[in-house]
Amino acid sequence: MSNILEVQEFFSEGQDREKAHVLLHISEPTSPAERERGYFFALIEVNHGYPEQIQQLQEVIDKIETIYYSPEEKNKNLLERTLQGVNRQSRHLLRYQGSEINCIVGTVANGDITLAYHGRPPAILYYQGKDHIETTPIIDSSNLPAASDEQLFSEIIEGQINPGDYIYLGTTHVADYFSIDRVGKLVESRTIKQSAAHIQKVLNDLSSDLSFGGILFHLTDKSDTPMTGVSPKNTGDSSEQSLNRMVESARSTEETLSPPLLGNVGKKMKNLWQGNKADRGEHKPVEKFQEENMNGGVETNYREREKKTGESTIGRILIMLGKGLVIILGGVLQALRGILSAIIGFFRGLFYFATNYRGERRRLLDEWKTGLNRRKKFIQTMPIISKIVLLLTLILAVSFLGSLTYLRRKEARDAEARQYLNLTQAIADKKDAAEASLVYDDKSKAAILIKEAENLLATLPQNEKTEKDKFLELQKMLAATAEKLRNIKILKPELLVDLSEKNTEAKVRSIMKIGSSLIAYGPEDNSLYVVNTVTKNVTLKKHDSIKNLYRSAVPAEEDKVVFVTKDNGVAEYNPKDDSLTAKTIAFSVAKPNIADIGIYNRKIYSLDAANRQIYKHNPTALGYDKGSAWIKSGGTDLADAVSIAVDGDVFVLKQNGAIKKYYTGAEQPFGISGLDPILNKPTIIWTGSGSDKILILEPIGKRIVALDKNGKFLAQYTAPEWQNPIGLTAADDGRTVYVLDGSKIYRVGL
């Protein structure tokens, strides 16, 4: 029978997660590779935490687990290397105002245990002594330094679990109800399953605001009798010696990253202290203290309690005061009950008097008159002491009711103040978290946090001047962070030419670069405008026979410009002889609606928005063939597609700002991340085989948005000179960009 590692957990969720929130995580290995690395566990307690802080701690646990079980990682010092990376990326989790983190993460594999911790979490080793279970703390909280605000896990402890050993890990609040000795008695007399169940039941019955959690480990001895509760036999190598070696092998991850100057001296002093402790016999089992008295008898720990001789004067005074308070409160309650009964009777009588219900008015008048006379006579004949008591009772009742009203109003004001403070703190925390995400270049998460903070800011009261000032302060802070996120760059464009100086009736809508020239054109203009980018000269070429030039594309060889017309025709411009010639093309559908074209390897890719398809056309002697449907997957949504760009992959821009990506006819996953604000009716998408980015023109925002080819936001550009940017083209590397704004053409460098 081989040794078996038993693992049991207990968890009790509290009624107020803000006071104490517990994250408990145990991963049981399933595959042979995972079994070699053993169990991974994490136990985190967050006192007065924040929702985003708790969520990020859960992400830290998931990240450690993923890396630990990753088959690409080497086993040697894997947990330590993983925690080094976590420490560098999780410093901000320790800087939430007012929160406290106590946590343990670790692994158990083949009898070896490795754990790291933060704060003062209870971690106890129970091992079999000569007569009973002995205990030794794995983490000695009495000698711990203050928790670091720079590293979540600053120390790693390594050791072994011997057969018959128990290890108990718990959250700090569990110790308020289960002492070390009590847990030891449980594991000594029960199985760990029964022990964990008992602890969980007791904690659940508390109905506490706090949350509790813990883990029990037990490595069975080969001679254990299962399910009988019999304690395992003692082993040759004591568990406490194993623990000593475990503590001695503790290595600071901070020292691993940056070894201190006197690190070796500190370790030698620690080893010397451990040796002196062993010499003093502090690890020996504690024997009962016995001392013979003078008569030869044996003195025990029992002491008889002293008999009560009498109560002190102060005690009697306190008792009298307590009784007096009880009598006064009883009188106040009785008076309140009478007042309430009188009020109810008054309104009922008033109803009867006003409606004369069943002729009750006369009877009520007589009853009120008689009662008034009786009370008047009663008060007149009442002893002076009774009158004073009655007056004091009325004063106390009025004071009590006034105090209740005041306290309720004060509680309401205090609740509003706390809510306001929590709201402003939450906004500031989300702003800080967004800036931390920007540091790690996680613009997508930063955008979400900024949006959440702006939504919270919209609910912030602005009734008083201080509240308005606070609103403006937070608004300014969020705006500054949003500016960092948006990465807006103001350009100083160079005005290349103004085509209206060449033709006052110019109606160009698009431009295309070929070689050192730009071709400007439009469906409502029967002229081509050829602009030399070096000399800035403009040449007009009429094309009365070929009208409605709509979109264009240039092959990589830059030997021609291919135009598509509004009626789905095709024409080619030859820069060598400055000629524009009509070409033939056909489509596999009767009524295509070609929104744009792209060229790759001399083949035309035509975007048919109406039929939600892209056609691939091969060149022929007279133009281009009929073309075949290129998109293989059905159900592609291209109804509002406006532009296409091809560089081996095919990118399609939609009017709603979404981008579709295709490769060999199959749609690929693609999404824009980190862009704020989102695209609003963009018109042109551009990329080149020599460029590592995608450019998108958005006329409404008067901006150019740059993404990498995985959709990650890079930057956005604008210029105060732009009034209505409608056309865009660029050199193949994407560094020099030409923008058509009305009849003006600008050149900018990105």
- Is 624:584 a contact under the CB 8 Å cutoff? yes
Residue, of 35 and 73, whose pLDDT is higher:
35
Which tokens hold the place of 42? 């994490």
Mean pLDDT calculated for residue range 372-392: 82
- Report the CATH fold assignment for 494-749: Methylamine Dehydrogenase; Chain H (2.130.10)
Angle between helices 384-439 and 51-68 (to 10 degrees): 40
- Choose the weakest-confidence range: 78-92, 155-169, 397-411, 459-473: 78-92
What pLDDT band is residue 306 in, cutting at 50, 70 and 90? very low
- What are the tens digits of pLDDT across the range 85-128? 888 888 888 888 889 999 999 999 888 899 999 988 999 999 88
Beta bridge partners of residue 623, listed in sequence order: 584
Q: Which residue has the tokens 């007589």?
A: 366
pLDDT of residue 223: 56
Which of these, 92, 63, 56, 95, lies nearest to 79 by C-alpha position?
Answer: 63
Percent of the chain with pLDDT strictly greater than 70: 86
Which of these, 629, 628, 694, lies nearest to 661 by C-alpha position?
Answer: 694
Q: Domain spanning 5-279 has what CATH number?
A: 3.60.40.10
pLDDT of residue 510: 97
d(CA 115, CA 240): 17
pLDDT of residue 142: 66
Q: Which residue has the tokens 């306190």?
A: 318
What pLDDT band is residue 243 in, cutting at 50, 70 and 90? very low
Q: In Å, how far from its chain's centre is CA 737?
A: 39
Mean pLDDT across the chain, nearest whole number?
A: 84
Which of these, 609, 553, 549, 608, lies nearest to 582 by C-alpha position?
Answer: 549
Helices in 465-570 by DSSP H: which ranges? 465-486
- Is 252:266 a contact under the CB 8 Å cutoff? no
* Residue 561 CB contacts under 8 Å (≥ 6 apart), including other chains: 512, 514, 519, 552, 553, 554, 572, 573, 575
By three-state DSSP, how is residue 503 classified?
coil
* AA letter at 311: E
- Choose the weakest-confidence range: 182-186, 354-358, 694-698: 354-358
d(CA 608, CA 597): 9
Count of other CB atoms within 10 angstroms of residue 460 = 16
Distances (CA, A) of 98 to 22, 94, 140, 321, 542: 17, 10, 24, 41, 75
d(CA 157, CA 80): 10
pLDDT of residue 714: 93
Phi, psi of 563 (to 5 degrees): -105, 150
Which tokens hold the place of 455? 């939504």
- Choose the weakest-confidence range: 201-205, 238-242, 374-378: 238-242
Q: Which residue has the tokens 């005690």?
A: 315
Torsion of CA 364, 367, 373, 378, to 10 degrees: -130
What pLDDT band is residue 738 in, cutting at 50, 70 and 90? very high
Where exactly are the structural domains of the chain?
5-279, 408-486, 494-749
- What are the tens digits of pLDDT across the range 159-170? 888 888 999 999
Q: How many CA atoms lie within 13 A of 444 on its CB side?
A: 5
Region of 164 (left: φ > 0; alpha: ψ -120 to 50; beta: rest) is left
- What are the tens digits of pLDDT across the range 659-678? 999 999 999 999 999 898 89
Residue 499 in this model has a pLDDT that exceeds 90: yes
Residue 298 in this model has a pLDDT that exceeds 70: no
d(CA 717, CA 658): 19
Phi, psi of 633 (to 5 degrees): -80, 140
Percent of the chain with pLDDT strictly greater than 90: 47
d(CA 182, CA 128): 16
pLDDT of residue 700: 95
pTM tops 0.75, yes or no: no
Mean pLDDT calculated for residue range 288-307: 36
Phi, psi of 508 (to 5 degrees): -80, 150
Beta bridge partners of residue 716, listed in sequence order: 488, 705
